[in-house]
Structure formats: C-alpha cells, structure tokens
Structure 1
Amino acid sequence: MSHLAGTSNTSSSLSSVLSSTASTCTISAWDIDGGLAADFDGSLSGLGSELGTSSYNMSEALLALPVFKQENLENGFQYVLGAATSPAVKLNEETLTYLNQGQSYEIKVKKLGDLSDFQGKLLRSVIKILFHERRLQYMEKEQLDFWKQIRPGERILDLDVPLSYGLIDARNDSNALNSAEFVWDPTKESGVYIKVNCISTEFTAKKHGGEKGVPFRLQIETFLHGDSSKLQHCASCQLKVFKPKGADRKHKTDREKMEKRSESEKEKYQPSYECTVLTEMSPEQFYQPATPTNSVSSSGSFSSLSKQPGSFSSTEMDDGSTNGTSTLLPSPVCSTPSPSPSLSVRSPAHIDVVSPPPSRTGPLPLCASAPEVIQWLQQNRFASFTRVFQNFSGADLLRLNRDDLIQICGLADGIRLFNALQHKSVRPRLTIYVSQESEVVYHAIYLESLQSRELILKLAQLYNIRPEHILDIYIQGPSGIHILVTDDVVVNIQDESRLVVEGLKDESNDHYRLLLKAVE
C-alpha cells in the first residue's frame, strides 16, 4: 500500500507540474496572434503565488515534461523556439510548428542543472534544417544540390546576427546551405535568431490543385567548444515553412477547424503552445547527413554580442522590388545567334541544363579502372555496393545486363544501376523554344522543377544576364496583356511552346523585365 501511495503522490505531483506548465505555455484559440513577453522566464514570476509556492522556475517545469529526463538533470539542455505549435496535431503525434519564410525567430539556449563544471568553458552548437522524413533524408544531398542550382547564391538557413544576443561567435557554414553554428557561454543567457529561406513546397512535385509541403527538422547539436569528438546533446522539432504570412493563415485555419470539433474530439489533440521546446533525440533518432562538414568560413562571424535579450518578435522581410521606367529594347537583326546590344546570346553549348542527380556525373567509361568504378558508384549513390563491385573494371560492370544487376542489387537498386550505366536521360517536365523577335533560330530550354525561378535562371544563362538582374518575367496574354510568370503559370505553359523574348530594360540600371510572346 505504501508503494501505491508513493506512486499516487508522484503522479499527483507530476500532474501539478504539467498543469502549471500548460497554463503558462498554452495559448487560447483567441490569443494565438498576441505577442510574447520580452523575458519569457520573467513573465512567469507571478505564477508562484497562484501555485502556493514562493517562486516559479520555468526550467524545472519544462524538465518535468516528457521531452526531458529528470535523472539526467546535470546534462540537461533546453532549446526553446519562439514560434507556436499547431493545435491540429493528435496526442500520439510529434508537435508541428509553422514558420514564415525569411522571418526571424528566436531560439533561447540554456544549460540546465549544476553549472560548476562549466565555469570558464564554452559550448558550440550547430543548427541544421534537415528533412524530417527518412525517405527524403536518403536523397538529401541531391535535393539540396538541385535547390542550389535553382537559387544560386542563396541559403536555406541564415543566422540573424544583429538580433542575437549573449553569443561569443556565430557564422553560417559556407559548405552547407542548411547549417550554421554559434559559440556561447552556458553560464549566461543566450539566444540566437534564425531565418529559414525555403518553403516546404519547394521539395514536392508540382501538381494541379497543390500539394502539402514536406516537413523539415530543426536540429541542434551541442559540443564542448574545441572538442567535436563527443556530442553533448542533440534535440529537434518538426517544422513546416510557408510563404510570408502563410504560417499565420495556417494557424488561423487550424484554429477554425478545431473550433468546429466536438469536445470529445478535441481531447484527442494536443493543445497549442506559444513556444516550441525542442525534443531530446535518442541515438537511434539522431540523423547525421552525408554532406561534407568542413570548417565554416568567417563570413558573417562576430566577436561578441552584448544586445539585451528581446521578446520572441519577428521581422517581415522587405519585398525588395523596384519600380523603374522600362523601355523596349530592339532585337538584333540576324539569321543566326550572335551578341546584341539588348540580350547577348551565348552558344547553346554553354547553356547549363539541370540534369537529374543520378546522371550528373556522366556515364561510366568502358576503360574505367577498379578504383574509378568505386568512385563512380559513390558519386551516383551506389556506395552500398562498392564492396560487391570492388574488383570490377568499367568493362566488367557494363557487360552485366539488367537481370544480372537485379539479381545482385535487388529489384529497385538493380534497375536504378542499370539505367545509370546506360546513361538514360530523364525526359524534362517542360520543354520550350525561345528566340528573339528577328531571329529564325530557336534555343531549347528544359525545365525540371516547373518553377519561375528555374525559368529565370535558364533565360539568364542563355542571354548572358546575371539572374538577379532579371526583375520579372511576363507572358503575353489575351488582348496583349502582360501576365506575371509565377510557378502556377509555368506549370500551365504548353509543352514545346515557341516563344519570342523581348527585353524591357530599366533605364536607371542594368536590370531587365522579360516579355514572352507565343508564336502562332
């Protein structure tokens, strides 16, 4: 009976802590858009009297949640993302947090428990935006490489250095678009602001009617500064990123759906919280991508940030668009492609066509040696079969037929390896033919992602224009109207269309607006 009484008291205590934590973090369906307190811990000071205690410690309350382990208090870490969780997530599912593209969000970082062993020591934390689903994790390198081709010079994850505080050093990883790191003192209050610049739908196939975006994983890994051999702690949370203001609209939609549910149905769903506490990851959950993790560059680093901690505020990014006077530039009069004052045409041989990842390294040469075969297998995502084919030359491997490869590698990988060896190209999703008005020769443009950004990149390559100098692309519609080319417009362009390109140059600078006119 004493054992049962102890269990009851423990459950009651835990229930009390959970109840108090929920009362501080849970937000009502009517208050989700409200701002958060400037000092999240300080804002809870008044709750102690309500609970009948002299003080209230948010860190201890958070440690009572399942995401933390009470027995490992001395090794506990806490990362709190200043973004609300969705109310439309069932109890048995992982929490889901919505972010706006390009908006700054705060992450408070803390070392909990006894800090005596950390006096005079620094910690280094690495923040990564990864794929949450295992299916996409296996293709992560190819997906990120393709994103880099479509959006050159841009990053998936950026640190917002001016808003961050209490850090010793912070920088973006020049070798990984989705990674950044910072150094912090565990004995002081620290917070880092991040921006996620890609949206979840950029990694889904474009189909009519739209698709749900893929979930990302925000993952934070912490090490002792100067010693990366031992991982001190790792935690993560599930994200979806929307276009600016899209996360707010999604929260509103989720709230409206929950309001329509019966009380019994609402009990099956998690409450929404003002903040997202990253969940500690077990070793089997920890995912380390195969991308290179070289040292980061000094770009964007800073020696010290003394800025006082702020609230979980957000800053909308400026549109950046300019309104200038555009003039129609003359097209060259020539029968073959040649440089012109308006759009300088390059030879089609110099046009970089985005190829599917497996074939980007080219076919396997017949004369390849055994080490070259191993290298080719690794570059084309067949690293698991390097031991099987370690003594094969290029000729040996190319002699194997489709059935041989299926028998050796299994059905899926066997077919994939056979296609890669035969260097079978994948048909582009959209082919268009473009020319300037006075030309008789057309240039083929192949699109893989069906995104307006990809079309801008291809046209910039063809006409030797910097992509950032193309402000907009229009397509001529009924009665000669100019229709802004968006992703949806690209999806609906008829395959193998013939289009004439006109350059509308901004008189004040070297920027262009391109007009595409269909050829009857």
Structure 2
Amino acid sequence: NSIQRGAVSVHGQNSPTTSLGGSTPNGATRSRPWHDFGRQNDADKIQIPKIFCNVGFRYHLESPISSSQRREDDRITYINKGQFYGITLEYVPDPDKPIKNTTVKSVIMLIFREEKSPDDEIKAWQFWHSRQHSVKQRILDADTKNSVGLVGCIEEVSHNAIAVYWNPLESSAKINIAVQCLSTDFSSQKGVKGLPLHIQIDTFEDPRDAQVFHRGYCQIKVFCDKGAERKTRDEERRAAKRKMTATGRKKLDELYHPVTDRSEFYTMQDLQKPPVLFSPADDMEKSFYGHETDSLTGAPDLKGTSPFLLHGQKVAAPTLKFHNHFPPDVQTDKKDHLLDQGLVPSAMGDFVPPMKRGRMTPPTSERVMLFVRQENEEIYTPLHVVPPTTIGLLNAIESKYKISTASINNIYRTNKKGITAKIDDDMISYYCNEDIFLLEVQQIEDDLYDITLTELPNH
C-alpha cells in the first residue's frame, strides 16, 4: 500500500527505506541493520508536528547540518558555545494568507527539545544559572552592531530570548546570536550525553498581539572549544567510511539528510503552547510572554520566587528529571519547606496559600505611558507605547487615533523650552514616561501626515 504524504508531518522527512512494522508477527524481536544500532526506538523519539510549505516565513541558521542524521529524524546542527552565528529571517508572499502589517515582531529564544513541564524547564535553567559566575550571564546573546534589515532596537525579553522587529515585505533580516550554555551544562555528572536544544522563533504579524502567526525551530547541540568542528569532522569521516563499505551506496545515501551549508528551520504546527522564558529570581519583571503575572508571595523576601511558573511559587528541589540530568533531590523539613513555598499557617493550623499581591507594573524597558490630547479636547488619551520605541509610538497612535502608521511621515517633540526635535527610540525610553502632550496632526500630502507632540506642564 502506498503511503500518502500530507502537508503536516511528525518526522523530519519521510524515508523510503523505513519499515512501518516494529516486530515480527509472532512477537520476536526483529534484527536491526548495523546502521540502526545506538539509535532511539520510534517510541522514544520526540515527535513534533510540522507543516511543509514553500511560502510564508522561513528562517535559516548559518551553519551546516549534521551529515549523520537520518531522514526520519529531525535535522540537527552543531554549534560552539559563545560563538556568533547568523540567523536569516525571510518571507515568501503567501497569496492564501497575506500578512496585514508591514512591521512584524520575531522572538528568538533557546528552549529545551524534551517535552517537560514549565516547572521542570525553570528548574533546569535555575540549575544552570546557579553555576554561573554572574547573575547577569545571559543564555542567549545578540550582536547588536552587525544586524541587517531590523527596525528599531533588539530587545532582551528574558535571559533566553530576544525580540526583533523587521519589515518582511521590504527585505529579509539578519541577526547574529550566540548561545552561552552547553548541551552538557544540565548535568552534575561528567560523561552524560548532552541535551539537544531548540532555537525557536515566534513571529507575530501584529507586534501588539499575543497570537503567534508563525513558529519555527532548529535543533542544535552546543559544544565547547571548537567541539562543533571536531564533531562535524568525525561524522564526515564516518560518512566516508559508510560509502566505502556499503554495497548499496544509493540506498544508504538516502537514509541520511543531504548536507546543506545552512540549517533551515522546521515550521511547527502548534502555535498555542507558550514558551518558557527565564530570568533570574532577582528579576521579577519578566514572565511567560503573552501572560500577565500574579505573583504569590508569603514573605517580603522574594528570592527564589519565579514569575515564570504559572503561580509564581518558589521552585522545589528538582524531582522530574531530564534523563537524570539533575542532581539528586534535596530532602527538606516539611514545615520549613511549606514556609519556603509561600504557604503560611492559618488559625486552624492548616497551611493555606497567601493572598495574591497586586499585579506588578511592567518596567519602562518594556513599556512607556504618554498622555496626549488635541487642541479641542479636555480629557487626555493614554498612549501605551509597547515597546518603548518609535514603532511602538506609531502603533499606539494608530490604535487610538486611527491614523495608519504608513501615513505618518515624521513625529516631532517640542519641549517646554520650545525646542523641536525628531523623536527617536532613546527619547521615548528615557525622557517621556508619563509626560503629557498636546498632539497636533499636520497634513503635508494626501494621506501623509506629520505629528508634533508639544510638552505641557504637569498639573
């Protein structure tokens, strides 16, 4: 019987040599070919539903893929810790699903490949972070000087994520990123096989929207001291040896992904699962993106509390393992443990969760609030500038005053001394929060406007 291929697949590619049966009819174990030894059984593999399409958003990591990865398994790319690699963001117009906005937001993040709960992912990052020399050590770094085709600044969303803005209808964009953790960093034992990780990119058609428009991922393993090159050379030698010893060369070649100079991201079918974004416990201003955070706290000391868990509770000693990659669980006294968890004793002697604290105000690094009115208005209109950039301001004006961002030529600010200057990102980030302005709209051409924000004295 022929196998029908659909647009959605759970493998990297279908292999013409893969058998669908796992055992003989009588239940006896089937003998495995020599090139199958050391591989995971199908039941152990992580299956990620994918969409294969030649149009829409496409991403590439500027590094070659492994030559020893079989076609029914996801492609994998080896990179070095701390080395910068280019990521190219492209868009091929899709006539069936055109994008509406000229500026899109792409969040580039490093996450775990293994299916684990958000709690376990946070535990893994906390375990890694506890071994670093500085609390400011990031998991994912970006080269801010050598990017191409970006609109505005690169945002640090969390320790393992950055956000960029670009215009897919105008040109592709490129950003250089470096991963600062090793695949073996999540084990307290030497000689343990490193964890595969994902570079995942979530693109939002509307930067103000929480709905992911497109999601892609690239499987990687991270090595130290040029280990990626050594691993690649070893695999190339093994591949050459396979070709020399194999009798059916063509059939053997078809077992493996053809080598490419750069790694194409798979397009994911699941756009709903929120990624886990991590920042140290001292930074309480981050959370799952797209989620508001109500923090549970039972004591003034917030250290050890994580806003990335759905309930913001302090993480207990690791219990669920990444293939035993965590150190042993630490035994704790039950009462002290409950107190550490933010649970306080009631008058009846039971431990109850504390009252919810009010939602924290986001930092000005993530949003700025302006109050504006026009000449004929008495009541001010709040402009929520997210992100605190000119793009964020354009979007806020479009949202409240229904002036298309494409129709705005320039935005100026006139200060209390009467000095008029063109607004840029730094002016919004550092000098405008909660200021009040008179908003003037001047038409300079058909469907083209200049906007001036004249600063008013505070009441």
Using the size of structure 2 for normalisation, the TM-score is 0.48
Instruction: Please state which structure has a larger fraction of its residues in helix.
Output: 1
Which entry has the higher C-alpha Rg, 1 or 2? 1
TM-score normalised according to structure 1 size: 0.43
